[in-house]
Amino acid sequence: MDRFFGTSSREEESEWLSVSDLMAGLMVIFLFIAIVFIRPLAEQNLEIKEIARTWQENELEIYKALLDEFEEDLPRWNAEIEKDTLLIRFKSPDVLFERGASTIRSEFAAILKDFFPRYVSVLQGFRKSIEEVRIEGHTSSVWNRSTTEDAAYFLNMKLSQSRTRAVLQNVLNLTEVREARAWLQTLLTANGLSSSRIVLNEKGSEDRERSRRVEFRIRTTARTEIVRILEAAK
């Protein structure tokens, strides 16, 4: 009967087993490919998570060290520390600079003389974790009544850059940090930001007084390490 109706059941079974074997073989190949490509990604993700965890713990330690050092001084300086950004903000524009100029007032010079050597002492305890210390200068969005908004932005940019350079020069020339100067020069940058980050009041409009400020911001090495991992995986 097999001669009249085609292949036998044994031949059909044999062909079915061959297809099953082929499918099983393909599944093994796909599984191998998945392991080859997914395992490095999983390892990379674990490494990034570990860096993120270490980074959070380390930044918390830096914040605690800054707070321990300066908590009692902050009200006297009209300053504050931001936990999430490791930023110390000096908020009294009338104390910081001569109006419309980059000349540091004597009151702010005295604050910097007290603050900065102690700040450096805290930083030295976290040398391996710190990539940059940014001195950031901020202004309000106005210049004078006759100046357009665009012109005011660029005038304030020039002013804020001059002011941060003045702060940088002032702190680096302090005799109390002379031994650490070479190291500090690899970390410190002066960044004038004009009115790009104004402070808003409760009504959502600009608070011009609070917008005029100087900030010291710590950037850790976590971001650089994550970028290195991602670059290595390409």
Pairing of strands 87-90, 213-220: antiparallel
Give the integer Cα–Cα distance in Å for 195 and 219: 22
What the block records as the tokens of 8 is 């036998």
The tens digit of pLDDT for each residue in 73-102 reads 999 999 999 998 999 999 999 999 998 999
Of the candidates 86, 159, 157, the one whose C-alpha atom is nearest the C-alpha of residue 123 is: 86
Question: Is the model's pLDDT at 229 over the cut of 90?
Answer: no
Contacts of 219 (CB under 8 A, 6+ apart): 130, 131, 132, 133, 134
Alpha-carbon distance of 140 to 153, in angstroms, equals 9
Would you state the torsion angle of the CA atoms of residues 46, 50, 56, 61, taken in this order, to the nearest 10 degrees? 180
Q: State both tokens at 29.
A: 């190949």
pLDDT number for residue 200: 94
What average pLDDT score do residues 107-120 get? 98
How many Å apart are CA 152 and CA 141, to the nearest integer? 7
Can you give the pLDDT at residue 197? 95
Q: What is the pLDDT of residue 11?
A: 54
Report the share of the chain in percent with pLDDT over 70.
71
Q: How far apart are CA 163 and CA 131, in angstroms?
A: 23
Instruction: Give per-residue pLDDT as tens, 145-184.
Output: 889 999 999 999 999 999 999 999 999 999 999 999 999 9
Model confidence band, residue 199 (pLDDT cutoffs 50, 70, 90): very high
What DSSP state is assigned to residue 189?
A: E
Dist CA 171 CA 190 (whole Å): 12
Q: pLDDT at residue 222 above 90? A: no
211-221 confidence digits (pLDDT tens): 999 999 999 98
pLDDT at 19 over 60: no
